[in-house]
A and B are shown apart, each in its own frame.
Chain A
């Protein structure tokens, strides 16, 4: 009994003095291995694969906004040479057709953007073109959203609202099989 009493007296606490050191060690490990980079990018939904060639001939010419990027990274928009920085505004005008011109899309739901590139096209150029086209739609969605709901468009909006806007201005981008020019060996 006397013995146990003596044992009781001895404090049985674990020395927590080294806790900070242990935590520091772990902290330094995570500091070193951390890469705080959120992966960002342009989100795309590819069309499902089908063996038949899609028939673009059926579409009315006025509803198709064709963009060609060749192996020299030049742009051909609706049959004429164009520059990258005018692409967005032209696409916007084409989709909305504010002046009801007969050569632009009948209405936004019928507008189709057709993108075609060579195998030798630079990826950077391709992505810039894609970015401009997406920017055109994003701006149109934003304008529409302000008109309909009075708030700027963002991905945080309720799904129903986003769907309503995208139903009015659907993003239709068809990519044709690239032609075999300028592929490097």
Chain B
């Protein structure tokens, strides 16, 4: 008995940490691939409605976002409480839409221009008035692929 105990005490069972960097790198690459860096801070309150018939937006580089909703509390003193449009990281008017689309087009190769999609992230409590105005402007600008952003419905 004593013999066994002694032997066990002597050997230090060290786990090899040589592969630790590899494991960490693997995790790192996973997160690097799935990461979407949040490009714009929301200045309007957007809680998109629920829906069931959802499609996935595939290529992130072909999508630009338009946010419609009521300004957040801290902006209400300046911008009021009626629904506003946000393009990029600032409030915008309908007249800014064509330029916004053109700017996005410049970053996309010409062969892909037909697949550019506008993702409308609209708050559920907004009335259709401003949404219709935005849609009309999009049609006039020739940007016809639109995605009404929505959450999957939880039963």
User: A-side interface residues toward B, CB under 8 Å?
Assistant: 16, 19-20, 23-24, 26-27, 30-31, 33-49, 71, 117-124, 126-128, 130-131, 134-135, 138, 155, 177-178, 182-185
Residue interface mask B98-119, A partner, CB < 8 A = 1: 0000000000000000000101
B135/A23 in contact, CB under 8 A: no
Chain B residues within 8 Å of chain A by Cβ, number: 53
A-B residue pair count with CB separations less than 8 angstroms = 153
| A11, B124: Cα distance in complex, Å | 66
A117/B144 in contact, CB under 8 A: no
A122/B38 in contact, CB under 8 A: no
Enumerate 23 A-B pairs (CB-CB under 8 Å) in ascending A order. A16-B21, A20-B20, A23-B21, A34-B36, A40-B54, A40-B149, A41-B51, A41-B55, A41-B57, A41-B149, A43-B55, A44-B145, A44-B146, A48-B139, A119-B129, A122-B126, A123-B49, A128-B51, A131-B52, A131-B150, A138-B53, A177-B132, A183-B129
- Across the interface, A42 reaches (CB within 8 A) one of B34, B53, B123, namely B53
A1 smallest CB distance to B (angstroms) = 36
- The answer to whether B148 has its CB under 8 Å from any CB of chain A is yes
- The answer to whether B92 has its CB under 8 Å from any CB of chain A is no
B32/A119 in contact, CB under 8 A: no
| A165, B78: Cα distance in complex, Å | 52
- Across the interface, A117 reaches (CB within 8 A) one of B37, B128, B136, B151, namely B128
